[in-house]
């Protein structure tokens, strides 16, 4: 994981994975999940993102499973981790989420918590810069993407991503432990968007 994700500037670097690992273990402990599966899935969840591999949705789970199998991890654990890596991702506001195991729910919640709050703001703009997107463009309204294809192919400014995904996440968390953690982070996002627009429109100039 460290080798593969080192130097990533799109918000999926090894530090993201370490934060997700820690939060996923915290959530998994609170929910009584199998922490061995939680930890492996957290460590491997971004090992190969389809966004950066021509939309190949199988590459992440395949790499994760091949790696674990090569280390002699029990096949049932390899399967469990592979399924989590496959079904974790957000695919658009109107796109139905795949069913996850309790372990998967813990990792998904941890991944989503890392997309909100102060770190979430930082990662969103890092991702936007990585993709050459503008910060904001008042002429381009946010969109509720009804299909995964539309969500993935969107080219909208980074501030729109707050409405298209980040502000939706707190209501899409799986576990009570994560929902409690999300409150403060969500509040910060709302305040950030409000201030961003206030400054953009010069309303703070008086
Ligand atoms: P997931 O972890 O659900 O697969 P992503 O990999 O899309 O989600 O998101 C990882 C990080 O990249 C998040 O912090 C997210 O906000 C950011 N990100 C993804 N798409 C965009 C976008 N269009 N604009 C800004 N940030 C984005
Ligand atoms: Ni992630």
Model pLDDT, residue 10? 86
Report how far apart, in Å, the C-alpha atoms of 46 and of each of 30, 75, 84 are.
23, 21, 11
> How far, in Å, is the centroid of ligand 2 from the Cα of 46?
5
Give ion ligand 2 contacts, CB < 5 A: 46, 111
Q: Are the C-beta atoms of 111 and 45 separated by less than 8 Å?
A: yes
Would you call 138 exposed, middle or buried from its count of C-beta atoms within 10 A (0-12, 13-18, 19+)? exposed
From residue 14, how far is each of 38, 43, 78, 159, 179 by CA, in Å?
A: 17, 9, 21, 25, 24
pTM of this prediction?
A: 0.92
Q: How many CB atoms lie within 10 A of CB 59?
A: 17
Between the CA of 181 and the centroid of ligand 1 the distance, in Å, is 19
Q: Which residues line ligand 1 (CB under 6 A)?
A: 11, 49, 89-90, 111, 115, 120, 123-124, 127-128, 158, 161, 166
What is the C-alpha separation between 110 and 42, in angstroms, rounded? 8
pLDDT of residue 171: 97
User: CA distances (Å), 11 to each of 29, 165, 199, 204, in order?
Assistant: 26, 15, 25, 31
Window from 71-80, 81-90, 195-204 with minimum mean pLDDT: 81-90
Distance between Cα 59 and ligand 2 center (Å) = 15
Query: Largest Cα–Cα distance of the chain, in whole Å?
Result: 65
Smallest CA-to-CA distance from 107 within 192, 167, 47, 184 is with 47
**CB atoms closer than 10 angstroms to residue 24:** 30
Q: How far apart are CA 43 and CA 22, in angstroms?
A: 10
CA of 14 to the centre of ligand 2 (A): 10
User: Which pLDDT tens digit goes with each residue over 8-58?
Assistant: 888 899 999 999 999 999 999 999 999 999 999 999 999 988 777 888 888
Select from 156, 112, 117 the least CA-distant residue to 137. 156
Confidence band (pLDDT; 50, 70, 90) for 94?
confident
Cα–Cα dist 20/111, whole Å: 6
Q: Which atom of ligand 1 is nearest to the CA of 165?
A: 16
pLDDT at res. 98: 82
Mutate to test the pocket of ligand 1, among 98, 133, 165, 172 (most ligand atoms within 8 A of CB): 165
**Among protein residues, the one whose CA lies closest to atom 25 of ligand 1:** 124
User: Between the CA of residue 170 and those of 3, 182, 189, what are the distances in Å?
Assistant: 31, 6, 11
Please tell me the distance between residue 139's alpha carbon and the centre of ligand 2 in angstroms: 30
């Amino acid at each position: 994981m460290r080798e593969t994700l080192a130097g990533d500037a799109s918000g999926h670097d090894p530090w993201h994975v370490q934060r997700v690992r820690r939060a996923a273990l915290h959530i998994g402990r609170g929910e009584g999940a199998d922490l061995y599966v939680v930890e492996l899935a957290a460590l491997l969840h971004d090992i190969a993102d389809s966004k950066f591999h021509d939309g190949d949705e199988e590459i992440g789970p395949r790499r994760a499973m091949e790696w674990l199998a090569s280390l002699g991890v029990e096949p049932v654990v390899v399967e469990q981790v592979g399924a989590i890596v496959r079904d974790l991702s957000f695919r658009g506001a109107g796109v139905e989420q795949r069913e996850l195991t309790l372990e998967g729910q813990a990792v998904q919640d941890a991944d989503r918590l890392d997309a909100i709050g102060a770190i979430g703001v930082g990662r969103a703009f890092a991702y936007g810069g990585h993709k050459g997107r503008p910060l904001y463009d008042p002429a381009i309204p946010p969109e509720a993407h009804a299909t995964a294809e539309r969500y993935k192919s969107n080219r909208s400014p980074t501030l729109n991503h707050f409405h298209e995904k980040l502000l939706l996440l707190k209501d899409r968390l799986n576990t009570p432990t994560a929902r409690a953690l999300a409150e403060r982070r969500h509040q910060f996002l709302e305040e950030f968007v409000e201030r961003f627009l206030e400054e953009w429109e010069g309303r703070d100039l008086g």
